Amino acid sequence: MAIAKASWLDTAAAARIAGQPEAAATAYLRVLELDPTDSSSLRGLYYLQVGEPLRRALLPQLRQLIEAAAPHPLAHGLLAHWLREEDRAAALALNRQAARQGLPPQRLAPLGSAAAAAGGLPEVVILGAPKSGTTSLAAYLAGHPRVWLHPLKELHFFDNHWELGEVWYRSQFPPLRSPGLLRLEATPDYLQHPQAPQRMHALMPETRLIVLLREPLDRALSWIRHMRCLIGLQGDSEALLREEAERLEAMGPEELAGLGWFRPNALSGSLYDQQLRRWLAVWPASQLLLLRFEDLALRPDAVLRRCLAFLDLDIEGLPPGRSYQIHNRGLLPQASIDPVLARRCRQGVLAEALELWTAL
């Protein structure tokens, strides 16, 4: 079975890169026929850009596979995601069911209560930046018995799914009987979205925020590599950086200050100075913890201790003998680029972001 799963996952990855969502979705479903709990396929189907006709055509098969298997929070979340337009009530019920799985009843608000119907909100959000260790840090924090990490990790509510509304977001989190458990989600794209600070503050102003920053040009190069694997981004890396640098250099201060996603979003995604100004204009600095990816990679225990102190959690709650597995291959060496281009980026559009990162 393992060989067959790996083969179908390779097929799905190749189809996704080639821009063939139907072939990718079909391959992911073949994996789920073998293993309905395969997280790679469940996440792959969640984030795959599937058009409405294809989603409707594949939904019966997906539903049959998930409903025939043992309850699984990620699977229920995926099915809810695919049902959200067709059957909103069923989607919300699946989300609420997924949010309660794995938690002891004594921690949860009783079924049928007003608190259970209202759902919950996260006490902690990891905002970003993409390709800066957010997946690893979320996994490390989830090892603490007082941290609940959303099974999907990235909900994209405050950027991509705002129109689904507060009820949808609350349905994603377990309603608690009493305080003591910190609910966490981590969506790296929140950091860059111009409206995310105001949206989040209006809904949950007491939430604590964590931001991981990476050396800006290294992050940009890692992002290009990520997008090649994810959507088959074409073009030479240096040419992509030069073109983006030229477009950013031509912008005025006001345009840069309000900049969101800006394809290919390599250099743009590393404009930490502009991004953080938007958050600090709304949120008190005491609720925002800034960390460096490089420190997390080299000294994960020390960074985790800083996070736990920020969250008022006891380090002793972590299991003894814990290990720190690097997720998403973030430490693989980057391809070298023309030093003249690197200097242009670091001394130009990335200068303020580099100064901020260096000062951490």
Q: What is the pLDDT of residue 334?
A: 56
- Cβ(176)–Cβ(147) under 8 Å? no
Beta bridge partners of 185: 125
The yes-or-no verdict on residue 321 having pLDDT over 80 is no
Would 290 be classed as within a structural domain?
no
Which DSSP string do the residues of 123-157 spell out, in sequence order? SEEEEE-TTSSHHHHHHHHHTSTTEEE-TTS---T
Take residue 247 and report the two structure tokens written for it.
Answer: 């477009």
Q: Which strands make up the sheet holding 147-149, listed edge to edge?
A: 147-149, 182-186, 124-128, 208-213, 288-292
Q: Is residue 249 in a domain?
A: yes
Count: domains in the chain: 2
Q: What is the pLDDT of residue 329?
A: 54
* Distance spanning both ends of the chain, measured CA to CA: 47
Host domain of residue 2? 1-102
pLDDT tens readout for residues 219-242: 999 999 999 988 889 999 999 999
pLDDT band at 330 (very low <50, low <70, confident <90, very high): very low
Least confident of 84-88, 163-167, 303-307: 84-88
CATH number of the domain that 97 lies in?
Answer: 1.25.40.10
d(CA 174, CA 176): 6
- 28 pLDDT band (50/70/90 cuts)? very high
- Span 176-199, mean pLDDT? 95
Quote the mean pLDDT of the chain. 93
Mean pLDDT (whole number) for 104-111 = 92
Q: Indicate if the pLDDT at residue 106 is higher than 60.
A: yes
Q: CA-CA distance, 91 to 138, in Å (whole number)?
A: 25
Report residue 176 as tokens: 């608690």
Per-residue pLDDT tens for 259-313? Answer: 999 989 999 999 999 999 999 999 999 999 999 999 999 999 999 999 999 999 9
Whether 140 is in a domain gets the answer no
Same domain, yes or no: 87 and 220: no
**Do 346 and 222 belong to one domain?**
yes
Say whether 182 sits in a helix, a strand or coil.
strand
Out of 45, 73, 102, pick the residue that ends a domain.
Answer: 102
* In a domain? residue 228: yes
Q: For residue 35, is it within any domain? A: yes
Sign for the CA dihedral angle at 340, 271, 132, 295 comes to positive
- 349 in the same domain as 227: yes
pLDDT at 200: 98
Could you give the CA distance from residue 98 to residue 120 in angstroms, rounded to a whole number?
13
Whether 199 has a pLDDT exceeding 90, the answer reads yes
Region 44-59: what's the mean pLDDT?
Answer: 92
End residue of a domain, out of 102, 122, 152? 102
Confidence (pLDDT) at 335? 62
Are 185 and 99 a contacting pair, CB within 8 Å?
no
Gap between the Cα atoms of 212 and 232, Å rounded:
26
Round to whole Å and give the CA distance between 65 and 213. Answer: 40
CA atoms within 13 A on the CB side of 11: 16
Asked whether residue 281 is assigned to any structural domain, the reply reads: no
Q: What are the tens digits of pLDDT across the range 301-312? A: 999 999 999 999
Q: Check whether 332 has a pLDDT greater than 70.
A: no
Query: If residue 68 lies in a helix (H) or strand (E), which one and from where to where?
Result: helix 52-68
Residue 26 lies in a domain: yes
Angle of CA points 72, 73, 76, to nearest 5°? 85
- At 208 the three-state DSSP class reads strand
Per residue in 32-69, is it b (16+ CB within 10 Å) or e — as a string?
A: beebbebeebbbbbbebebeeeebeebbeebeeebeee
Comparing 304 with 330, which gets the higher pLDDT?
304
Predicted confidence (pLDDT) at residue 328 exceeds the cutoff of 80: no
Give the end of a domain, one of 81, 102, 123: 102
pLDDT tens-digit series, residues 111-140: 999 999 999 999 999 999 999 999 999 999
Average pLDDT over residues 103-117: 92
pLDDT for residue 167: 97
Answer yes or no: is 205 within a domain.
no
pLDDT at 325 over 90: no
